[in-house]
Amino acid sequence: MTRPAADAMVTPARLTVLSGPSGVGKGTVVAEVRRLFPHVWVSISCTTRKPRPGEVDGVQYHFVSDAQFDELIATDRLLEYATFAGRRYGTPRKPVEQHLAAGRPTLLEIELQGARQIRERMPDAQFVFLAPPSERELRDRLAGRGTETDDMIEARLLQARAELDARTEFDVVVINDDVERAAAEVVSLLSAVVS
């Protein structure tokens, strides 16, 4: 009888979910996490919104039609999904499960509503809340984007307050007062779950 090679025995990895209010810098922190920890696999969401200039299907998002999104829901191929600003977003199930089974640290960058759905389906996941150093800093970041009106910023801040109140639902809170430091903290959390 032959024994499997040691490298063939892979210990499944733990899923890490990163969430936080709009404007807190989730995307920037995740980009730095990827730089510091290239072994991490970051899930690519599906969305029904149209690609923005420079976005590539399968890189930033998987761009799908409403009918395709309905099919993904009907066939239980999404771990979570939500509607934001009139467009739907969701996390494809199969690639997440495949990377976890292969022992690869897996990171989801999703909104609070999606994080709550993942908590229901995968309670053993690690939940990390990315918070701003202050509400004033969050307001400055949103205004600094230059893409939203004052009314839109106020609406996002109102939503952010509700999301900040939910941080107690998470295992760890990381303050994004410095991108490199915050990313290093997330990397240490990702590393801890695979050791």
CATH code of 180's domain:
3.40.50.300
- Helix or strand run (H / E) with residue 70: helix 66-74
pLDDT of residue 10: 58
pLDDT in tens, 60-85: 899 999 999 999 999 999 999 998 77
In a domain, 5, yes or no: no
Q: How many domains does the chain have?
A: 1
In a domain, 6, yes or no: no
| Token pair of 194 as six digits | 């695979």
pLDDT of residue 194: 46
In a domain, 97, yes or no: yes
Alpha-carbon distance 62 to 56, whole Å? 8
pLDDT of residue 11: 65
The pTM of the full predicted model, rounded to 2 decimals, is: 0.85
Spans of the chain, pLDDT less than 50: 1-7, 194-195
pLDDT of residue 178: 96
In a domain, 57, yes or no: yes
Helical H segments across 123-178, by residue range: 135-145, 150-165
pLDDT of residue 1: 46
Q: How far is CA 89 from the centre of its chain?
A: 11
Which residue range is the domain that position 144 belongs to?
A: 11-192
**Kind of pairing between the strands at 15-19 and 106-109:** parallel
Q: How much is the mean pLDDT over the chain?
A: 88
Question: Starting at the edge strand that comes first in sequence, how are the strands of the sheet with 172-175 ordered?
Answer: 41-42, 106-109, 15-19, 126-131, 172-175
Alpha-carbon distance 187 to 178, whole Å? 14
